[in-house]
Amino acid sequence: MNRVAVVTGAARGIGAATVRGLAAAGWAVVAVDRASDDPRLAYPMGSEGQLHAVVASALAVTTGTMTASAGSDRIVAHVADTTDEEALGAAVALAEDRFGGLDAMVAVAGVIAGGVPLWEMPGDQLGAVLGVDLGGPITAARVGIPGLLRRPAPRQGRFLAVASAAATGGMPGLAAYGAAKAGVAGLVRGLAVDLADTGVTANAVSPGSTATAMLDESARLYGLEDTRPFADQQPIKRLLTPEEVAAALVWLAGVDSGALTGAVIPVDGGLSL
């Protein structure tokens, strides 16, 4: 039986790489994205065209001896605001109706804003960062975990979220972002206890500086010409790729990760050392 996932933030970056990684591992995936700009933020969000391109690329991935395109409905797009319980709940319902159930809820969607001290940050930007970066994973847990628990026991469900190195290390001008990501770490720890012996685990990954549109925006917020200074801060002296972070999420989503719950795993090129 194919395992089934819902992945948010799927139009680009780590979310897109996670969709492709799960597809390559034989999963069925509902790829979710807002797929429109957020007027509170100064940089463009992923588009609906990008979301459908990710689905097309995931369907073209070869899985063992079978191409995903042989099962052309195994990866589907769903447009939803990830902070809206009804809209994101519809993605869970789609996974259950089309694929028979849900095995992993993967909350990747995130935004960044700031670049100034917290007390100078515009209120709408503050609302966007806290709403998407912490409210989004909370919403994913509220609609996704009941779906995971609807699988009959013994089950191997996975709730996954993306934190950040900013959750544990202060970064100038990013207090709200750091607070939201620290909240994600607390969220998975609390969920792990609530889920106890249900067969569903809750974990997060904590990426370092990764080559994404969010990092490009971070460079702009700091007045940098490009993202190279972020690479220099990491012991590996390069940026992470979205695929490297996604690989950790794909493993955590699988059946071999059952001994881990309540963990926040650094995938950060040594940035947190």
CATH number of the domain within which 33 lies: 3.40.50.720
What is the pLDDT, as a whole number, of residue 73?
85
| CA dist., res. 195 & res. 159, Å (int) | 10
| pTM reported for the whole predicted model | 0.95
**Residue 272 domain flag:** no
Q: Which long-range contacts (CB under 8 A, 24 or more apart) does 43-47 make?
A: 43/213, 43/216, 43/217, 43/220, 44/213, 45/11, 45/111, 46/9, 46/10, 46/11, 46/12, 46/13, 46/16, 46/213, 47/11
Tell me if 205 sits within 8 A of 163, measured CB to CB.
Answer: yes
The runs of H, that is alpha helices, within 117-209 are: 123-130, 136-150, 175-195
* E-strand stretches of the chain: 4-8, 28-33, 62-63, 66-67, 75-79, 104-107, 157-162, 200-207, 264-267
CA–CA gap between residue 266 and residue 269 (Å, rounded): 8
Residue 273 lies in a domain: no
Determine if residue 115 is left, alpha or beta; phi over 0 gives left, psi from -120 to 50 gives alpha, anything else beta: left
- pLDDT tens digits in sequence order for the chain, 273 residues long: 689 999 999 999 999 999 999 999 999 999 999 999 999 999 999 999 999 999 999 999 854 434 444 456 899 999 999 999 999 999 999 999 999 999 999 999 999 999 999 999 999 999 999 999 999 999 999 999 999 999 999 999 999 999 999 999 889 999 999 999 999 999 999 999 999 999 999 999 999 999 999 999 999 999 999 999 999 999 999 999 999 999 999 999 999 999 999 999 999 999 988
Nearest-angstrom CA–CA distance, 22 and 246:
9
Bridge partners, 7 (sequence order): 31, 106
Q: What is the C-alpha separation between 221 and 10, in angstroms, rounded? A: 24
**Tokens 């690989």, residue?**
247
DSSP state string for 195-213: HTTSSEEEEEEEE-SBSSH
Provide the number of structural domains found in the chain: 1
- Give the span between the Cα atoms of 263 and 257, in whole angstroms: 11
User: What residues are paired with 254 via a beta bridge?
Assistant: none
Helix and strand tally (H, E) in the chain? 9, 9
Residues 6+ apart with CB under 8 A from 97: none
Residue 80 counted as domain residue = yes
Domain holding 116, by residue range, is 4-267
Q: Across the beta sheet with 157-162, what order do the strands follow?
A: 75-79, 28-33, 4-8, 104-107, 157-162, 200-207, 264-267
User: Is the residue at 145 inside a domain?
Assistant: yes
- 262 domain residue, yes or no: yes
Assess if residue 34 is contained within a domain: yes
For this structure, is 222 an active site residue? no
Q: Which of 27, 99, 177, 230 is catalytic?
A: 177
The answer to whether position 117 is within a domain reads: yes
Looking at the domain assignment, is residue 196 inside a domain?
A: yes
